Structure 1
């Protein structure tokens, strides 16, 4: 069995990550301070006098790929975080979006259709045809704004000429939620 080894992770700015190391055998991210089996093994490995080796800083292309992946995850969190529509707090997760679409289809097929809808706070309201359409449009607008912002930031990521420009793109404060 080969000896265990770990590498220090480097972020896109070239700074050392202090929250995890990479286990070289499988590339797994091991939380440094977490009370997990992997974290304990890593700390025992350190206590035996071992030290992780630094990974080279990622290339600009690798850093852009990582930033796009982080942006997609951030967009998903914003998309599914909920939205206020017509003064009501609506869930916006994928299941709710699907159920809302089905209710709109039923409403389009029968304009007298009404549905009891559970809001994000757990209360129920009745949506008639017009309200259901307006709520669906509001939720859809929220979801689309998240994708639109992601698309804008992807353009900025791709246009970044160096690591400093890439690091300056703040994907957290720029998202709708």
Structure 2
């Protein structure tokens, strides 16, 4: 059995979910044509609701924000990782720095090298990473609002979640 994909010339083979393009040279498409010539009719796939499409776009948006958030940040020429573990370790280092103004730490940079960070540099790095992470969440919140406000699938498709992220 096969299912029609709305607004597409491709078919889905129901047995394994394979998408079969309408290509006369494709063996799977030839099998589909023979199946249809035998009097069979593909089942139309249900069109997702606007709410389902919005939910899928919000999930993609969260993943896109995560990629931007964890891409790292450059502070005074230093390439600083900004993944969740690095953020947590940076927070701990800042706490130690606040408790001891003479505290410094040998910090591992994104390229794998180490750099000694003194009190002032450590504070600057922490503030820059925090600002970067927050700006990623701010971008996600703005786009999530646009997604929620989209009146139809065309308006939703027009929302670009790939560009405009902090570097």
Is the pair's TM-score, using the shorter chain for normalization, greater than 0.5? yes
Partner of residue 73, structure 1:
63
- SS at structure 1 position matched to 2:79: strand
* Superposed displacement of residue 48, structure 1: 5.2
CA contact (8 A) 1:7 1:24 kept: no
1:105 to 82, 88, 95: 95
| Map 1:1-80 → 2, pairs under 5 A | 7=3, 15-16=7-8, 49=32, 53-80=43-70
TM-score, normalization by structure 1 = 0.74
- SS at structure 2 position matched to 1:116: strand
* Superposed displacement of residue 57, structure 1: 2.4
Distance 1:54 1:153 in 2: 32
TM-score, normalization by structure 2 = 0.78
| Map 1:138-153 → 2, pairs under 5 A | 138-153=128-143
Partner of residue 107, structure 2:
117
Inter-CA distance 152–46: structure 2 relative to 1 (3 Å threshold): same
Inter-CA distance 132–17: structure 2 relative to 1 (3 Å threshold): farther
* Superposed displacement of residue 174, structure 1: 2.8
CA RMSD of aligned residues (A): 3.0
Distance 1:165 1:112 in 2: 55
* Superposed displacement of residue 175, structure 1: 2.4
Q: Does 1:174 align with 2:164?
A: yes
Inter-CA distance 152–6: structure 2 relative to 1 (3 Å threshold): farther
Larger Rg: 2
Distance 2:67 2:28 in 1: 36
Task: In structure 1, list runs of 5 or more residues that go unmatched.
Answer: 34-42
- The one-character-per-residue Cα deviations of 1:3-47 (angstroms, maximum 9, x if unpaired) are xx665666xxxx5497xx68678xxxx6759xxxxxxxxx99767
Distance 2:164 2:75 in 1: 21
Paired residues, what number?
155
Of 45-54 and 77-86, the range deviating more from structure 2: 45-54
- SS at structure 2 position matched to 1:89: strand
